[in-house]
Structure 1
Amino acid sequence: MFIRSAAAILALTTAAAMAQQTDITIGMQLEPPNLDPTGGAAAAIDEVVYANVFEGLTRFGPDGAVLPALASAWQVSEDGTVWTFTLRDGVTFHDGTTMDAEDVVFSLDRARAEDSTNAQKALFAGIESVEATDPGTVTITLSAPNGNLGFNLAWGDAVIVAPESAETNATNPVGTGPFTFTDWVQGDRVELTRNPSYWGPAPALETATFKFISDPNAAFAAMMAGDIDAFPNFPAPETLASFEADPRFSVIVGSTEGETILGMNNATLSDIRLRQAISFAIDRQAIIDGAMFGFGTPIGSHFAPHNPDYVDLTDAAAYDPDRARALVAEIGEVPTLRLMLPPPAYARRGGEIIASQLREVGIETEITNLEWAQWLEQVFKGKDFDLTIVSHTEPADINIYARPDYYFQYDNADFQALMEKIGTTTDGAERSALLKDAQKKISDDFVNAYLFQLAKTGVANANIAGLWENAPTQANDLTGVSWTQ
């Protein structure tokens, strides 16, 4: 009897050891200010909920392709102004209510409403009407052709929400995705659980925890101790060699949509000579090496180098401290500039380097380190700053320069007209030429100082598969993630 019991115990123990793990803990440096992607600008929101909790009519795949999501198919009229979306059958929200065409109408009308708080309201500007043809069909009519509508609807800002839960999604998100919201312990973690009623293939993971660790040293320690299973955007690139040398881990290096800029308040820095002096004072490679330990690609405009329409304009504001000093002398007295830095390491480390480079040409700065919520309130919303450093991780978002009320307050009628023309141009070659003109325009106007394209440097347990290598949008999509043993 004793031998049988021992054997049984051994068999059970062996089976348990071989059972595939179904929970995961994901590390993130920034905690989202809320969990509603339609009501906040922070990338950290989408990093938790995009494709996991909320879904749109379309979605981005890991390679940046626009894929079907809640819409199984769509057709576009010959003149490009009418898009008809066929919705999937049997989709329900996490509270059990049915998702149908009326919810799509509600969501898109809410996003484009005059009083909308959607951070990317411009995505919906060309929509003239949204109509529910029947419960499974939605017709979107545009004021002018827009070949990018499918792309626009793939953003996290365009997810479909229900009227019954829209107002409480910030703290209790209710979507249609493969994971449901379980808990948010503010300052620590967000927990998700697999949705048993999901319309699509069930994810391999049963539970997911997003753990917020702002300090790079603490992030390193948590990974080494096994407290974190994966840190897709690891904040301490200087330690990646340690992980590469350890067979327990895999290091995942890819590209992002993150144009990292020294943002300039064009209202307080209205003299283009000052913006030029700041740009010429900056040694981009020194920032990449010093703040990012070599990870990053220099840029000269707000456009990703991997985009086929990219123009290399880095020479337009090449490092030239003598030219910067001459411009400062020409201006005369330059007041001390307020450099407001959010928490990411690229901002804090990069800010110290930039402050030193500006000092070398006669421009003094006063650094203020802000927590993420403070940065959003003071800089992004309040526009109360002179300089800041931030990475814009939204895909193909040069259109933000056509918004005079955006935080860097660039107001140029020619650029706005150019972006309007791009929005109505369907010819590929003509559109490409216009996008190149747009890149050159903001470079010539020295709207911001363009630093580098943020690399995606991730660390994960070597037994995890399915994490995105690149980041075509700000997301930690867990739908295809699993443990290999």
Structure 2
Amino acid sequence: MLHRRTLLATGAAALAPLVLPTGALAQARRKDTLVLGLTLEPTGLDPTAKAGAEIAEVVLYNVFETLTRINSDGSVTPLLAESWEVSPDLRTYTFRLRRGVKFQNGEAFDANTVKFSFDRASAANSTNKDKRFFANFTTQALDANTVVLIAKEIEPDLLFQLGQASAIVVEPKSAEGNATRPVGTGPYRLENWAKGSSIVLAKWDGYRHADAVQIRRASFRFVSEPAAQTTALLSNDIDLFPHASVSRSLSQFQNDKRFQILFNASRGKSILAINNKRKPLDDVRVRRAIAAAIDRKAVIDAAMDGRGIPIGSHYVPTAPGYIDTTGINPYDPAKAKRLLAEAGVKLPLQLDLVLPPPPYARQGGELIAAQLAQVGIVAKIQNVEWAQWISGTYGNKNYDLSVILHVEPFDLVNYTRPEYYWGYQSAKFNEVFEKARNAPREADRLRLLGEAQRILAEDSANVFLYQPQLITIAARGLRGLWKDAPIFANDIAAMSWA
């Protein structure tokens, strides 16, 4: 999934004015309310319609629920499904559903709503980012409380993927309105969305475990600029800022007893995306030249203040089957110039570098443009809002280069999709990836995943930059926070004030 969003409030002044002194306000709200900060605003609230990670940050496990739940350590536990059984050939999954669950409009949750949701996700007109995942299996409702998924091909990460935002269970009558009027089975309902300012979720009293939910109201406020994020936190205007862009002001929080700091491991991959469909970027020598022109360590310093691990393919060291491919395309400006000459590229080569709003893109993008200039590539920076960038089904194709953070743990499959925004196509990669998905032995699967990583690196499908270390800043008394971030989600019902 892309880390996709819209440019919004850029300063502390963009936050709603407060009447009480900040300290008094914080004390007044900390019994049962919470204010969260997010870098960017969702373009809608239906994660099955658009691919933005910021949508899941608001609604996943809060408004909408899934059959399984992904936890901070990456483990998978029951949610709407109480239990499941897997056939010996790993192709048939039988789920026993939780009884007595209702949607927020009063309709019942049952096997038919699960079937509707998954059939809808795989339908011809579906815009679900994981449409191909859902098309890999058929869904059968055996009875009101039993669902069977029969996979055409083995999907080793199926239980994990069923806990992601694209796999939410929706109510048929309200499904088409979920972008602005979301209806789920979760502990919170949408109370208000002031576009450009905030989204407010209120506790739903009809939730099956409503008595255990301690946060009555949660407000999401959108602050894109790092300095404004720091100001909002220090002034107690925001209680919790997951993956905040505050590296350069971190000492202010480390020396302030009002705050707790969590350094979150993630499966995110920051890349310099290359439009493989455009000339001369369709020439592997040009893509390799771009990769050779980029000093990953310097980009990490510029974009993340040094908090990142270099990667050489679309995979991170904490993922199973990882191999180190950083040596395939090392920083070598002289080699970059030779490759451009071999490809017959007339210098200077003019390319558009389209940068979405997050600081990692804007700060890293400026350095990348400077590095490319050293080898004769003039990268013209275009700063755009996320809604402008993601104007196509799988992302905007009207670009040459872009800096994007992909946050999904298992997304190598995107390289088998020629329609995806980077337009990469490789029969060799497709063959290896399919073998990996269907390998009966874990050792074979991991070996093949390593081979797939190597192919992407050798093809320079994109310039693979780093795995980020995320920073969460929270008020000292807030409990129930995730230690790590295998996916981007804020499970508000698990939080409480000490």
TM-score, structure 1 as length reference: 0.94
Matched with 1:370 is 384
* Residue 300 of structure 1, aligned match among 292, 312, 324: 312
Q: CA deviation at 1:72?
A: 0.5
Tell me, yes or no, if the aligned pair for 2:85 and 2:94 is still in contact at 8 Å. Answer: yes
Q: CA deviation at 1:197?
A: 2.0
Q: Secondary structure at the match of 1:381?
A: coil
Tell me, yes or no, if the aligned pair for 2:277 and 2:423 is still in contact at 8 Å. Answer: yes
CA distance in 1, matches of 2:388, 2:394: 9
Q: CA deviation at 1:103?
A: 0.2
Matches within 5 A, 1:112-151: 112-127=122-137, 129-151=138-160
CA distance in 1, matches of 2:224, 2:314: 27
* Residue 276 of structure 1, aligned match among 281, 285, 288: 288
Tell me, yes or no, if the aligned pair for 1:105 and 1:131 is still in contact at 8 Å. Answer: yes
Matched with 1:5 is none
Instruction: Report how many residues are paired.
Output: 468
* Residue 412 of structure 1, aligned match among 414, 426, 438: 426
Matches within 5 A, 1:319-338: 319-330=331-342, 331-334=344-347, 335-338=349-352
* Residue 467 of structure 1, aligned match among 481, 484, 489: 481
CA distance in 2, matches of 1:189, 1:288: 31
CA distance in 2, matches of 1:18, 1:353: 44
Q: CA deviation at 1:22?
A: 0.9
* Residue 234 of structure 1, aligned match among 229, 234, 244: 244
Tell me, yes or no, if the aligned pair for 2:117 and 2:168 is still in contact at 8 Å. Answer: yes
Tell me, yes or no, if the aligned pair for 1:236 and 1:345 is still in contact at 8 Å. Answer: no
* Residue 413 of structure 2, aligned match among 385, 395, 399: 399
Q: Is the aligned partner of 1:351 residue 2:365? A: yes
Q: Is the aligned partner of 1:182 residue 2:191? A: yes
Q: Is the aligned partner of 1:451 residue 2:465? A: yes
Once the two structures are superposed, residues 193-219 of structure 1 have per-residue CA deviations (whole angstroms, 9 ceiling, x without a partner) of: 112222246322111011111122211
Unaligned runs of 5+ in 2: 1-25
Tell me, yes or no, if the aligned pair for 1:272 and 1:446 is still in contact at 8 Å. Answer: yes
CA distance in 1, matches of 2:208, 2:236: 33
Matched with 2:233 is 223
Tell me, yes or no, if the aligned pair for 1:178 and 1:203 is still in contact at 8 Å. Answer: yes
Tell me, yes or no, if the aligned pair for 1:263 and 1:449 is still in contact at 8 Å. Answer: yes
Q: Secondary structure at the match of 2:189?
A: strand
* Residue 84 of structure 2, aligned match among 71, 74, 99: 74
Which has the higher mean CA deviation after the structures are superposed, 107-116 or 19-28?
A: 19-28
* Residue 50 of structure 2, aligned match among 40, 43, 52: 40
Q: Secondary structure at the match of 2:64?
A: coil
Matched with 1:310 is 322
Q: Which amino acid counterpart does residue 192 of structure 1 have in structure 2?
A: L
Cα 1:248–1:114 change in 2 (3 A) is: same
Q: Secondary structure at the match of 1:458?
A: strand
Matches within 5 A, 1:194-213: 194-200=203-209, 202-213=212-223
Once the two structures are superposed, residues 372-398 of structure 1 have per-residue CA deviations (whole angstroms, 9 ceiling, x without a partner) of: 111111695340000000000012211
* Residue 356 of structure 2, aligned match among 329, 332, 342: 342
CA distance in 2, matches of 1:20, 1:146: 43
Q: Which amino acid counterpart does residue 105 of structure 2 have in structure 1?
A: D
Unaligned runs of 5+ in 1: 1-15
Cα 1:297–1:168 change in 2 (3 A) is: same
Once the two structures are superposed, residues 105-160 of structure 1 have per-residue CA deviations (whole angstroms, 9 ceiling, x without a partner) of: 00000001122110121221311x21111111111112233332212211110110
CA distance in 2, matches of 1:417, 1:67: 32
Q: Is the aligned partner of 1:27 residue 2:31? A: no
Q: Which amino acid counterpart does residue 106 of structure 2 have in structure 1?
A: G
Q: Is the aligned partner of 1:153 residue 2:162? A: yes
Tell me, yes or no, if the aligned pair for 1:75 and 1:84 is still in contact at 8 Å. Answer: yes
Q: Secondary structure at the match of 2:328?
A: helix
Q: Secondary structure at the match of 1:86?
A: strand
Q: CA deviation at 1:323?
A: 0.9
Tell me, yes or no, if the aligned pair for 2:394 and 2:419 is still in contact at 8 Å. Answer: no
Q: Secondary structure at the match of 2:377?
A: coil
Q: Which amino acid counterpart does residue 79 of structure 1 have in structure 2?
A: D
The structure that has the greater radius of gyration is 1
Tell me, yes or no, if the aligned pair for 1:147 and 1:426 is still in contact at 8 Å. Answer: no
Q: Percent identity?
A: 43
TM-score, structure 2 as length reference: 0.91
Q: Secondary structure at the match of 1:316?
A: coil
Q: CA deviation at 1:423?
A: 2.2
CA distance in 2, matches of 1:425, 1:434: 9
Which has the higher mean CA deviation after the structures are superposed, 338-347 or 50-59?
A: 50-59
Q: What RMSD over aligned residues (CA atoms) do the two structures have, in Å?
A: 1.7
CA distance in 1, matches of 2:51, 2:100: 31
